[in-house]
Amino acid sequence: MADKTLTVGLIGAGRIGKVHAEHLAHRIPRVKLLAISDVDEASARACAGRFGIARVEADYHAILNAPDIQAVVICSPTDLHAKMIEECAVAGKHIFCEKPIAQTLPKIDRAVAAVKQAGVKLQVGFNRRFDANFARVRQAIASGEIGEAHLLHIISRDPGPPPIAYVKVSGGIFLDMTIHDFDMARFLIGSEVEEVYTAAGVKVDPAIGEAGDLDTALVVLKFANGVIGTIDNSRKAVYGYDQRVEVLGSAGGIQVSNNYPNSAVVSDAVSVRRDLPLNFFMDRYTESFLTEMNAFVDAVLNDTPTPVNGWDGRAAVVIGLAARKSYDENRPVRLEEIA
């Protein structure tokens, strides 16, 4: 685009919407955030007031119909993502959408088809790809620094479970939590997953099981290039947000540990200790949210592919559906059974 400034409207002024609003309003110079919409107009007004945005809309269609808005950032509830993507595409808006696109493949396919037909760009919000630690792991694998990758281990544990009301509508642990790890596995290894086996249970809160979900899981992934991966999830790690990765290769290995609020280590006659890891994703991944949005802006302004596209969004959901099927049927599941 000739003027190299992207005008944006934001839909959804909840927790993640506020994060993106701050970045769009104050931390990305090439962007003008023109409007914020939320069905809860008071929330939209509070968010807009906080970041100095003049336009507030209770109906998001006002953003889609605005000729001065070039791109839309979707932070609405999951069940609205696919519908809004389709509507944005028809309106000719470029789209950044939080994960997942949808919980079912037909909805995802319709949304991605609408994007392709309209010729607009779509980026899905898998922010962990943009974390500096994980990007370094990808670099080590892609460059051959550790030789040929053999084993991948992802540890991803939340500090505490979400509200039961959220569990009932989230699509389950594999589509609302592990989905980040499925995307991370594909990103790091650079190969598609072919088979999944899941062992899981309810160890944290019986109410999660009563809602039909799981809270503790180990997923084994077999990749097309022969790498074997494991993902280790828990809804409750009492010591904080546990985000680690290790890859073993033929010529070495690489691992990244948790991020901490400081680097201090206290030593005395009884123990050697440090403070707990950063407590949740809002603290741990702050910079990755900014980096991913910068990447979206770059893709639109420079007319280049988005780094996380609709296919990436679909692929992670396919693995999630396979993981649940594996648990339900107590067997390995080939992804071709799902997709």
pLDDT of residue 281: 80
Q: What is the pLDDT of residues 108-143, one digit of tens each?
A: 999 999 999 999 999 999 999 999 999 999 999 999
pLDDT of residue 3: 60
Nearest Cα to Cα of residue 146 among 65, 227, 247:
247
Q: Using CA atoms, how far apart are residues 66 and 63, in angstroms rounded to an integer?
A: 5
Stated pTM of the model: 0.95
Locate the domains of the chain by residue range.
6-120, 129-284+316-337
Q: Using CA atoms, how far apart are residues 186 and 211, in angstroms rounded to an integer?
A: 29
**Angle at which helices 15-22 and 41-51 pack, to 10 degrees?**
30
| Percent of the chain predicted with pLDDT > 70 | 99
Q: What is the mean pLDDT of residues 78-96?
A: 97
**What's the CATH architecture for 129-284+316-337?**
2-Layer Sandwich (3.30)
Evaluated on CA atoms 55, 61, 63, 66, the torsion sign reads negative
pLDDT surpassing 60 at residue 2: no
**What's the CATH architecture for 6-120?**
3-Layer(aba) Sandwich (3.40)
Q: Using CA atoms, how far apart are residues 76 and 14, in angstroms rounded to an integer?
A: 8
In sequence order, what are the beta bridge partners of 267?
272
